[in-house]
Amino acid sequence: MDEIKDFESFYTIKLQPLIDSLKKEAGAAGNWGIIAPVVAVLSIVVFVGYQSGYLEGYGGWAIFCCIAAIAISVYFYANKNDRYTKDFKETIIKEIITYLHSGITYKPDEVIAKEDYKYSGLFRHKFDYYDGDDYMEGVYKNVPFRCSELHTKYERLGTGIMGSRLITIFKGLFFVAEISKNFSSGTYLWSSGAAQTGGSSIHQPNVYKIKLQDANAGFDDHFSVYSTNPSEAGTILTNTMTERMVKFQQQVKRDIAISFVAGRCYVAIGINEDLLEPSGFDTDDREEVKKYFFTVLLVLSIINQLHLNELV
């Protein structure tokens, strides 16, 4: 990471050759992405013509051909897009991760374990949908960690026009770090006004809202603190630590939830957009690649900014 501030050099020397090798693949996926909706529109025109009587005698064959064309174009688009996404992650994203910290193991198709999500105690609503990808794990500054993109939802039952629908509980980056086992209780920090002390999760110990005596000025405007052990919470959440948390939230400009539970630190950063997915087929979009760079850097920044190595 000696040249970490010089993203342009890294991009030119390391990433550009890899990106050039993906251009043909991106172009093929992009072409099918155009063909598929065009075929769908033509099929609608054919169907309208059939309904209007303009294709009398040929309508059956025309509709059959349109359905077949839609199926074929959608299949090829999905196939090309999946292949491009897979190769993009295994070349561009992996190269970024290796550059920033070679000790990270990257598994693009895996997600953080459900047990980690549950035991964090940060999201206490029972979930019906659990999905994610871009799993990473490693050791940084002597702190073992793991994380991934995660999306959880619950089903809200309904009737009539609305019917049942899935409601997002959390979407974003979910991070776990192993810290000292001497911290055996549970301390939970939610953005001010967003505490989740109820819900239907099976892992929800009794917690008490506390006011830290040594918190940094303005901390209460950003976070609400609950704990099963106020004394231990005070040991972790010193004036210095609360100052770091406020600065970190201001830096990332996202909703953040943090917990310290039985020797682990959990951090959930709400991010609506997909984290490490190629957003299109323009391989020359340098700014888009820079976003991936800083997403991976965000993982290491959690340890850096909160000084979690001091809690190991």
Q: What is the pLDDT of residues 47-104, one digit of tens each?
A: 666 656 665 555 566 666 777 777 777 777 778 788 888 999 999 999 999 999 999 9
Residue of 137, 204, 124 lying closest to 170 (CA atoms): 124
β-strand pairing of 129-140 with 165-178? unpaired
User: What tens digit of pLDDT does each residue of 260-273 get?
Assistant: 999 999 999 999 99
- DSSP label of 222: T
Q: What pLDDT does residue 2 have?
A: 45
Q: What pLDDT does residue 61 have?
A: 64
Retrieve residue 155's tokens.
């089903």
Q: What pLDDT does residue 60 have?
A: 62
| Sheet strands (E) in 87-128 | 105-107
- In angstroms, the Cα distances linking 72 to 35, 65, 90, 162 are 10, 10, 27, 32
β-strand pairing of 256-261 with 264-270? antiparallel
Q: What pLDDT does residue 1 have?
A: 41
Q: Are 191 and 259 in contact (CB under 8 A)?
A: no
Residues in Cβ contact with 222 at an 8 Å cutoff, skipping those fewer than 6 apart: 191, 192, 245, 246, 249
Residues of the chain with pLDDT under 50: 1-4, 202
